[in-house]
Chain A
């Protein structure tokens, strides 16, 4: 909320405080200042003047030469304007003056000296659009007066960020009260004085409230013999400072009072109200209404409206109707000052897409006690401006007001909650200044502070005025706790450190994706979770598979001409069927790579991860039917008979769908399953004391026999002395019969307690070879 400091000053004397200090102090007591704008900051050397004489320019038809009295001298000024006459008052930028548009210097215009410039409204920065002619007025004005003083431009406008719990501070009076308490000064609000002018409001209007829960209070007055005209300059200027466009005296007064009292008001043209009756009711289903901004709305049955006997004339608390708008020829008005239910206004404003100054106040919950003071203030201003005659009487339809909250007050309790030693006297003074009543050890909360409900709220009131920064700082002294990561969190760290050491970089991708990701992956659409109000189709579902996200990251890098990309993500996927209608959230480790690599590079990375996790045994078999992957270069890895990972080359069509023009590889690992199999509990093994015996064997096996099948037989070797095996050659071609391949391993044998004899090794070899022959038809290549 923007407020000119001069307005605050109407209630608290702050003339002696710089805007900067004011902003700092208010921020630290809880009314955060977002910024201070000083109007007239870029105007200097502009004064009031009076045109004494206007003469034609000797050399130009469109220019005139004026003699202008600026108090201490008379200046000759040449101008092209034609909207002034002798005797008019004007704003004169003297030689050397500064305007928002730049500096003014004296010079010659078509050969005649001009010692300054008479300014227009736009040249003074008072309006955006170009003015027609210069600014002139006829009201007697002292000459030579700084134009900023004359126009009230030497103003500091403070922009407050008001938190949602403090609707009372969406008003000048509320902020003035905060100011007074913050600075320890007096705060005064005068009671408004309304001059009633006879008649009886009941002859003009009656009010019926259908649901007092939705409209706890409806107060109004009638004004007759209204004269619609512009409101005074000072009021217009204050409204503009607060970001509200002046319209006419009546509308301006309702807006002004809203800003001052925080109570939104509305004025209806009484002649448009049928049946002399105001009915506050919910709209009929599909009832229509056009609001002041010219928008036609179709209303729902839960929208609260102000209606007459025939039609809605306003959206309660949101915006007035076009049909009852104040016009230039309006003569009788109904001034509404009502209290509407916060939730009802919020949902109506949200549904209709109309957020107004009024609705944003009501939706935070306003004080029903405030309707009458605001109404009286508006009528006081009407009297003051001679804008109409206030008809005698007020209509005030009011549900029983909520009694003020009472809270037990215990200074000790507050101090021990805050960790302070604040004097009880200070607490009492602070609460009183904020409008609380103290009756012994009970605090009565003022009606405008609906946010204060208990001890903690009182503690905050006291603490923020005392100063948060004066509260001592101590490092937690309670029960000692042991901070640590759990096993899963450690495992996550391990994944990251292993992969980064292997040259992979971590990516973080969105959890939301498009249903089309399944088409790009060429897999059927999963039963995914949909967002009911997504930002757009491309982020409308929660991913059930994170490979797509990683391929998108590869694509970004490929399209930016990065030679190789080795990426991984610890990704969450979201699946239907969790408890209480929530998702089952699973963790996947994704690897995605392109560059100077092949299938065995990515498989190696996977093996190394498994090794780090202490997982030495797993089943691996070719995976030929996963549509995301290349049918000939993909494997499925299982742990405990469950699929733990898919690793392989991305199907060329899928790569193409993602716009990746290189062979790319990916792996998806079930992190949750991996966690169940993790074995990080390492035990030292003695270094070998006896030598190893190495035997190389080359096997001829049918093409379809896999290394995994062979190695499985090695692993199951019963000799107990096969320490290690490693594949060193695969060969097809001459000397190997058609349909077969040669596959060569180096086998290392060792015993922990003795040097092996040839016989022992031969026996072990024989048993392995016969097993290979029996199970896989493998022959030793001679």
Chain B
């Protein structure tokens, strides 16, 4: 019997060498280990053995069984691996072909730049205020020290609804509305749509956006105005940006200034973008006119403040080098998806 067992083992080893598929492996398993398999067959004759032989033969038969089983398992996983490798080879694709894209939408470029500005000012402790676009003449002009007949009204060609109601020409009326309802300290920006009856061309639009800023508190000086706006410019245009405050005139600020930054395109050397000046005007600002504070019942003897106004379209056009303001309102996706 011992010999028979050894023969089976040898036969199994020999047969395994010829197995090359999972199906053959299964037949092999049945042939040797199945209910009617060769090993089982032999073991059926165990009863005829003596009591001494039985455990020895039994042990041997079990060893052979586990040997074959472990051989089967090893071969099985080798075969699996081969199959998998084959499959992987078959699944080869051209990985350089274009990827399949998920549709993605884009925020409007004006929104993107406005978001940046909001973040900068929120970081400096500003809140965001809002006000109506259809506005009273009083808030848009009168309270901002621009009485009827003031020449500044000419430079802001106004759309009127009636004698007293107009489409705001600037976001500055929000200053007045905020100061009327809130006591200092005030620290707000007010972005929004403004309207001027300019015929449409590459640089003019009857509707555009401004961001107004207002700070009112005790002891606010021109020095604070400069520091705040200087920090803003460096955040928006980079740390190396130089700023230049140039005297100007607005009826509702005194002193007033315009703020130029060193041209980001040429670092101030002079180029087409800055018309060879090396500087680009980016906003108007000034100390809130004492009369404006008075109109809002804020005592200019106690409080002072500064205000500024930024044109969003121009800022965005500079940021992305867009050369035609009309693109913002056409909403051509080939434009919108670029940003």
Give the residues in chain B near A32, CB-CB below 8 Å. Answer: 246, 248
Which residues of B in the span 302-339 have a Cβ within 8 Å of any Cβ on A? 304, 328-334, 336-337
From residue B211, how far is it (CB to closest CB) to chain A in Å? 14
Do A557 and B289 touch (CB < 8 A)? no
| Interface pair A29/B125, CB less than 8 Å apart | no
Chain A residues with Cβ below 8 Å from B165 are: 581-582
Determine whether A562 belongs to the interface, using a CB cutoff of 8 Å to chain B. Answer: yes
Q: B104–A501 contact, CB under 8 A?
A: yes
The CA of A453 and the CA of B142, in the complex, are separated in Å by 17
Residue of A nearest to B146 (CB): A164
Q: How far is the CB of B141 from chain A (nearest CB, A)?
A: 13
- Residue contact B105 to A505, C-beta cutoff 8 Å: yes
Max chain B C-beta neighbours (<10 A), residue from A164, A455, A557, A566:
A164
* Contact yes or no, A456 B287, CB < 8 A: yes
**Chain A residues with CB under 8 A of B121:** 483
CA distance A565 to B121 in the complex (A): 34
Task: Give the contacts of A464-512 with B (CB-CB under 8 A).
Answer: 464, 468-469, 471-486, 489, 493, 496, 499-512
Does B167 have its Cβ within 8 Å of any Cβ on chain A? yes
With A473-B227, A476-B224 as known contacts, state yes or no: A483 contacts B123, CB within 8 Å: yes
Choice from A164, A476, A482, A585 contacting B228 with Cβ under 8 Å: A476
Task: For the complex formed, measure the closest distance between the CB of B151 and the CB atoms of chain A, giving whole angstroms.
Answer: 4
Q: Is B230 an interface residue (CB 8 A)?
A: yes
Stretch with Cβ within 8 A of A (4 or more), from B26-34, B46-54, B131-139: B131-139
Residues B245 and A164 in contact, CB atoms below 8 Å apart: no
Bound together, the chains give a CA A479 to CA B125 distance in angstroms of 10
Which among B13-21, B36-44, B251-259 touches the partner chain? B251-259
Chain B residues near A501: list those with CB within 8 A.
Answer: 104-105
B150: A residues at CB distance < 8 A: 164
Cβ-defined contact, A165 with B290, below 8 A: no
Q: Any chain A CB within 8 A of the CB of B155?
A: yes
Nearest CB to that of A534 among chain B residues?
Answer: B159
Contact B124 A483 (CB under 8 A): yes
Cβ-defined contact, A469 with B254, below 8 A: no
For residues 52 through 107 of chain B, which have their beta carbon under 8 Å from a beta carbon of chain A?
A: 102-107
Interface: B22 (CB within 8 A): no
Give the residue name and chain of the A residue nearest to B219 (CB). A478
Cβ of B3 within 8 Å of any chain A Cβ, yes or no, is no
Pairwise interchain contact B107-A478, C-beta atoms closer than 8 A: no
Known contacts A164-B152, A483-B124; is A532 also within 8 Å of B132 by CB?
A: no
CB distance from B102 to the nearest CB of A (A): 7
Neighbour of A475 across the interface among B107, B231, B329, B337, CB < 8 A = B231
Indicate whether B4 reaches chain A with its CB closer than 8 angstroms: no
Across the two chains, which residue of chain A brings its CB closest to B257? A468
B97 to chain A, nearest CB (A): 21
Residues of chain B within 8 A (CB-CB) of A477 are 224
Give the chain B neighbours of A508 by CB distance below 8 A.
108, 110-111, 328-329, 331
Whether, in the assembled complex, A419 has its beta carbon less than 8 Å from a beta carbon of chain B, the answer is yes
Contact of A419 among B222, B332, B333 (CB under 8 A): B222
Given contacts A363-B151, A583-B134, contact A463 B105 (CB under 8 A): no
Partner of B223, one of A473, A539, A566, A578: A473
- Chain B contacts for A347, CB-based, 8 A: 149
Residues on A with beta carbons closer than 8 Å to the beta carbon of B134: 529, 542, 574, 578, 582-583, 585
In the assembled complex, the Cα of A503 lies from the Cα of B187 at a distance in Å of 36
Q: Mark A274-308, 1 if CB is under 8 A from B, else 0.
A: 00000000000000000000000000000000000
Would you give the shortest CB distance from A476 to chain B, in whole angstroms? 5
Cβ of A572 within 8 Å of any chain B Cβ, yes or no, is yes
Asked if B249 is at the interface of the complex by the 8 Å CB criterion, the answer is yes
Q: Which residues of B contact A568 (CB under 8 A)?
A: 105
**B238 at the A interface (CB under 8 A):** no
Is the CB–CB distance between A581 and B162 below 8 Å? yes
CB within 8 Å for A500 and B106 given contacts A553-B331, A582-B136 = yes
User: In this assembly, does B207 line the interface, its C-beta being within 8 Å of a C-beta of chain A?
Assistant: yes
Which residues 290-343 of A sit at the B interface, judged by CB distance below 8 A?
Answer: 342-343
How would residues 524 to 550 of chain A score, 1 for a CB under 8 Å from any chain B CB and 0 otherwise? 000001111111000100100000000
Interface residues of B in 163-208 (CB under 8 A from A): 164-165, 167, 185, 187, 193, 195, 197, 199, 206-207
Give the contacting residue for B221; candidates A28, A416, A481; CB below 8 A. Answer: A416
Quick one: given A468-B246, A475-B231, are A556 and B332 in contact (CB under 8 Å)?
A: yes
B185 and A479 within 8 A (CB): yes
Q: Does B197 lie within 8 Å of A535, measured CB to CB?
A: yes
Contacts A460-B256, A478-B185 given: A562-B333 contact, CB under 8 Å? yes
**Residue B269 at the A interface, CB < 8 A?**
no
Q: How many residues of B contact A (CB 8 A)?
A: 85
A479-B217 CB under 8 A given contacts A346-B151, A532-B160:
yes
Q: How far is the CB of A338 from chain B (nearest CB, A)?
A: 19
A475 touches B228 (CB 8 A): yes
With A481-B187, A531-B167, A585-B132 as given contacts, are A460 and B247 in contact (CB-CB < 8 Å)? yes
Residue of chain A at shortest CB distance from B207: A510
Chain A 159-179 interface 0/1 with B at a Cβ cutoff of 8 Å (1 = within): 000011110000000000000
Q: Smallest Cβ distance from A131 to chain B, in angstroms? A: 33
Report B223-253 CB contacts with A as 1/0, cut-off 8 Å. Answer: 1101110110000000000001111110100
Task: Indicate which residue in A364, A460, A480, A489 contacts B151 across the interface (CB closer than 8 Å).
Answer: A364
Contacts of A163 in B (CB 8 A): 248-249
In the bound assembly, the distance between CA atoms of A463 and B248 in angstroms comes to 12
Binary per-residue interface labels of chain A (231-266) against chain B in the complex, 1 for a CB within 8 Å, 0 otherwise = 000000000000000000000000000000000000
**Chain A residues whose C-beta falls within 8 Å of the C-beta of B207 in the assembled complex:** 510-512
8 Å CB contact of B193 from A164, A483, A484, A511 = A511
- Residue of A455, A457, A464 contacting most chain B CB atoms (<10 Å): A464
**What is the bound-complex CA distance between A483 and B126, given in angstroms?**
4
Does chain A have a CB within 8 A of B161?
yes
By beta carbon, the residue of chain B nearest A476 is B224
**In residues 669-692 of chain A, which contact B (Cβ within 8 Å)?**
none
Compute how far the CA of A542 lies from the CA of B289 in the bound complex, rounded to whole angstroms.
33
| Residues B107 and A496 in contact, CB atoms below 8 Å apart | yes
Is A30 in contact with chain B by the CB < 8 A criterion? yes
Query: Would B103 and A503 count as touching, CB distance under 8 A?
Result: yes
CB-CB < 8 A to A483: which residues of B?
Answer: 121-127, 187
Interface centre among A163, A476, A557 (most CB of B within 10 A): A476
Known: A364-B151, A455-B290, A583-B134. A476 touches B334 (CB 8 A): no
Report the nearest A residue to B152, measured CB to CB: A164
Question: Chain A contacts of B167 at CB under 8 A?
Answer: 531, 542
Interface centre among A166, A364, A463 (most CB of B within 10 A): A463
B1 contacts A by Cβ under 8 Å: no
Asked if A456 and B254 sit within 8 Å, CB to CB, the answer is yes
The residue that B122 contacts in the complex, of A472, A484, A503, A574, with Cβ under 8 A, is: A484
Among residues of B, the one whose C-beta sits closest to the C-beta of A365 is: B151
Cα A603 to Cα B337 in complex, Å, equals 23
Quick one: which of A343, A473, A533, A557 has the most chain B CB within 10 A?
A473
Q: Known contacts A417-B222, A457-B254, A509-B331: does B107 contact A500 (CB below 8 Å)? A: yes
B149 contacts A506, CB within 8 Å? no
Query: Given A562-B334, A581-B164, A474–B224 Cβ distance below 8 Å?
Result: yes
Task: Given A164-B155, A499-B105, decide whether A531 and B160 contact each other with a Cβ distance below 8 A.
Answer: yes
Known contacts A476-B215, A503-B103, A508-B110; is-contact A560 B332 (Cβ 8 Å): yes
- Measured between beta carbons, the chain A residues less than 8 angstroms from B290 are 454-456
Q: Report A-chain residues with C-beta under 8 Å of the C-beta of B159.
A: 531-534
Q: Determine how close the nearest CB of chain B comes to the CB of A469; give it in whole angstroms.
A: 6
Task: Indicate whether B11 reaches chain A with its CB closer than 8 angstroms.
Answer: no
A566 contacts which chain B residues (CB < 8 A)? 103, 105
- A-B contacts, 24 of them at CB < 8 A, read A164-B152, A343-B148, A346-B154, A464-B255, A469-B244, A472-B223, A474-B226, A481-B187, A484-B127, A499-B105, A500-B107, A501-B104, A503-B102, A505-B333, A505-B336, A508-B108, A508-B111, A535-B197, A535-B206, A556-B330, A557-B333, A560-B334, A566-B105, A583-B134
Closest 3 CB pairs of A and B: A419-B223, A419-B221, A503-B103
